[in-house]
Amino acid sequence: MRRFWNPEDIHPRELAPGVMAKIASGEKVMLSLVTLAPNAVVPMHAHPHEQMGMMVSGTLELTVAGETRTLSGNAIFLVPGDLSHKAVAGPQGAMTLEAFSPPREEFR
């Protein structure tokens, strides 16, 4: 099993138009470094995985189960499994570091 990653060496995966992720996964947890272009949208969706993230840069309008917050700085967020959520990047874009548990098999 791989134990070390350099983000520069991870091939990005497009999650939505203007939304790219660099993903590293273990057996029980997955990290995703997500870069969102200015005003990029991650459409409303849900998955059974618990998702926790932290802002790295920029701003992000995050809606979870109908509640919307604008996140910046090093704000941390939690999306429990099976709750609908969406994200919209601010005018300068955004970067987040997100963890999924269990890992999302479709992203491995």
Q: Which tokens in the block code for residue 78? A: 């939690």
Tell how far CA 98 is from the center of its chain: 5
| pLDDT tens digits, 47-95 | 999 999 999 999 999 999 999 999 999 999 999 999 999 999 999 999 9
Q: For residue 4, is pLDDT > 90?
A: yes
Distance CA 39, CA 55 (A): 16
Mean pLDDT of 91-104: 97
**How many residues are recorded in the chain?**
108
Which domains are present in the chain? 21-107 (2.60.120.10)
**pLDDT band for position 108 (cuts 50, 70, 90):** confident
> How is residue 11 annotated by DSSP?
P
Please state, in angstroms and rounded to a whole number, the distance separating the CA atoms of residues 63 and 87.
6
- Which pTM was predicted? 0.94
On average, the pLDDT of the chain sits at 97
Q: What is the dihedral of CA 31, 36, 40, 45, to 10 degrees?
A: 0
